[in-house]
Amino acid sequence: MARWRAVVVTMGTRPVELARAVASLRAQEDVDLEVVVVGNGWAPEGLPDGVRTVHSPENLGPPAGRNLGLAGAGAEHFFFLDDDAHLPHPDTLARLERLLEDDPGLGVVQTRIRTPEGDSLPRWVPRMRDKDPERGSVAFSLLEGSVAVRGAVLAASDGWPGPFFYAHEGIELAWRAWDAGYRVEYHPELEAVHPRIHPSRHEDHLFLDGRNRVWLARRNLPLPLGVLYVGVRGGMSLARTARQPSAAAAYLRGVAAGLRRPAGPRRPMAWRTVWTMTRHGRPPVV
The 10s digit of each residue's pLDDT in 146-171 is: 999 999 999 999 999 999 999 999 99
Q: How many domains does the chain have?
A: 2
Mean pLDDT of 93-97: 98
Same domain, 143 and 267: no
Per-residue pLDDT at 241 = 78
Same domain, 132 and 13: yes
Same domain, 166 and 30: yes
On whether residue 285 sits in a domain, the answer given is no
On whether residue 224 sits in a domain, the answer given is yes
- CATH classification at residue 38: 3.90.550.10
Distance CA 176, CA 156 (A): 8
Report CA dihedral (213, 218, 222, 223) to the nearest 10 degrees.
100
Of 35-44, 127-136, 240-249, the range with the lowest mean pLDDT is 240-249
Range of the domain at 268: 203-279
Per-residue pLDDT at 73 = 78
3-state helix, strand, coil in the chain (%, to 5): 40, 20, 40
Distance CA 257, CA 261 (A): 6
CB 215 within 8 A of CB 263: yes
Q: For 222-234, how does the pLDDT look when each residue is reduced to its tens digit (9 = 90+)?
A: 999 999 999 998 8
Of 2-16, 116-130, 142-156, the range with the lowest mean pLDDT is 116-130
Same domain, 155 and 90: yes
Burial class (CB in 10 A: 0-12, 13-18, 19+), 115: middle
Please enumerate, as own/partner, the contacts of 271-277 that have beta carbons within 8 Å and a separation of 24 or more: 271/222, 273/175, 273/178, 273/179, 274/222, 274/225, 276/178, 277/140, 277/178
CB 71 within 8 A of CB 40: no
| CA-closest candidate to residue 134, choices 190, 195, 192, 193 | 190
Determine what percent of the chain is predicted with pLDDT higher than 90: 84
On whether residue 286 sits in a domain, the answer given is no
Distance CA 95, CA 29 (A): 10
Q: Which of 137, 158, 193 is the last residue of a domain?
A: 193
Of 69-78, 191-200, 214-223, the range with the lowest mean pLDDT is 191-200
- CA 135 → CA 91, 185, 189, distances in Å? 21, 11, 9
Distance CA 241, CA 244 (A): 5
Q: For 165-199, how does the pLDDT look when each residue is reduced to its tens digit (9 = 90+)?
A: 999 999 999 999 999 999 999 999 999 999 987 65
Is 138's pLDDT higher than 60?
yes
Same domain, 220 and 188: no
Q: Which of 193, 221, 239 is the last residue of a domain?
A: 193
Q: Angle at which helices 203-220 and 169-179 pack, to 10 degrees?
A: 20
Per-residue pLDDT at 22 = 98
Element (H, E) at 32: strand 32-40
Distance CA 124, CA 145 (A): 10
Q: Which residues of 100-111 are buried (b: 16+ CB within 10 A; e: fewer)?
A: beeeeebbbbbb
Distance CA 52, CA 49 (A): 8
Q: Which of 125, 160, 193 is the last residue of a domain?
A: 193
pTM of the model as a whole: 0.95
For the chain, the average pLDDT equals 94
Same domain, 58 and 103: yes
How does residue 200 score in pLDDT terms, banded at 50, 70 and 90?
A: low
